[in-house]
Amino acid sequence: MGLLIRVYDIESPNNFDLSIGLSPYGPFTPLNNPNTANGSWPSSNTRNYRDYPIYIGDNDPLITNGTPQPSEIVFHDIEFDTQYWLKLEDNVNVISVCDGDNTPRYIVENIYINDSKTFECYDRISFEVVYDPDTCPTPTPYPTLDITAPPTATPFATPNPTPTQFPTATPQSTVQPSPTPTPTILINTETEINIFFDSSGSMNTTLSPLVNMRDNILQNCLLPFYNNDVSLYNQRVTITNKSDERAIQWIATPPSNPSYNVVNLAFADESNNRYEAERITVSGWTDGSVSGDADIAQLRDELDNATTPTSHRGIIFQVDTLSGGQDIYPQYQNFINAVFNGLGYYAGTSGLSDKNEVSGVQDVIAGSTPQYYADLIVSAMNNLGYNVPNC
């Protein structure tokens, strides 16, 4: 039987692009207007989308002597028991109107098409989406969607009761993304992800899988956010070897451009000479250390003076380097735990417990798999307000 999605009542002052995907993160397949050279759709000022909606489907079997005519249907294979996401992108306005982001203004909405035999026959299920930007007066295209089918079909569409703007779910290492993610910070072409690695020698087994993760798993996952431009990804997502054992200073690194966002990820297992946190016998950190105090103050200053409240994020991954099944550097874990949880000397502004822009991830496995490190990074970034899809 034929199954169609009808997109109607679109209100957009500018021309827009339309695309469809199986995830709010993409990839999205363009649904090009067959009557324009660039495939864009005209604004609602020139087309009445109530009377002339956009029909999406494969029209198989062919509907004859009905509405719409086959020539009016934008081809895409639509299936039952499937959730689809429609993305409308404004051709004129960009997000920078609000926060300096050059990404085109857009909205993403989802519908779920249940099995045709599950319910009584419904000719049409529709819902209206109202989009009200908090600070931007610039209108954004927004659709009202319904599902239609030939008289012989019995489709039933169950729209998400609380439509959510793209992107993002909050995946953990063992948790699948939520089907209705709530975005906070969006990755875009001006997001820098700096991965710092302690190259002082004790973590050599971790470097290779970390590089593999960055060059393959993370690249495949994040490349759409960088316009599928590998060169741009390599410029924005980097691994830097550092031997000075000052992980707090590493995550204090500001973005290369004040208008960019930065996420600093530091992998370290100890800091003997700098933070006095290493083996059981090296515990000078309990009363503070010159370098540790200075780096905490520097990080706090960078966060306080960040261009926007979301432009600077940092995570320290405390790696367990083991010998005989035991962590060789327990005092470093104690130090990280105290700094990020405000314990003892590091209570209040002497530590980082009041800074939700940064976090510490403890007991990271040394020399594990690339997928393990990808899951850790995604989970930690999402816990700080990003919404990265599972990689």
Q: Which domains does the chain have, with CATH numbers?
A: 4-159 (no CATH), 191-383 (3.40.50)
User: Quick one: which of 218, 188, 9, 220 has its CA closest to 106?
Assistant: 188
Among 69-83, 128-142, 338-352, name the one with the lowest average pLDDT: 128-142
Question: Residue 85 — pLDDT band, cuts 50, 70, 90?
Answer: confident
Q: Which amino acid is at 384?
A: L
Identify the three-state secondary structure at position 334: helix
CA 328 to chain centre: 35
Given a cut of 50, is residue 227 above it in pLDDT?
yes
Residue 144 has pLDDT above 70, yes or no: no
Pair 13, 43: CB distance under 8 Å: yes
Tokens of 184: 């906070």
Q: What is the dihedral of CA 196, 197, 200, 206, to 10 degrees?
A: 180
Tell me the per-residue pLDDT of 291-325, one tens digit each, with 9 for 90 and over: 999 999 999 999 999 999 999 999 999 999 998 88
Q: Report phi then psi at 129, rounded to 5.
A: -110, 125
pLDDT for 200 equals 86
pLDDT tier at 115, thresholds 50, 70, 90: low
**Residue 369: which pLDDT band, with cuts at 50, 70 and 90?**
very high
In this prediction the pTM is 0.56
Cα(177)–Cα(170) distance, integer angstroms? 6
CA angle, 143 then 146 then 147, to 5°: 140
Say what the pLDDT of residue 119 is: 43
Lowest mean pLDDT among 79-83, 130-134, 258-262: 130-134
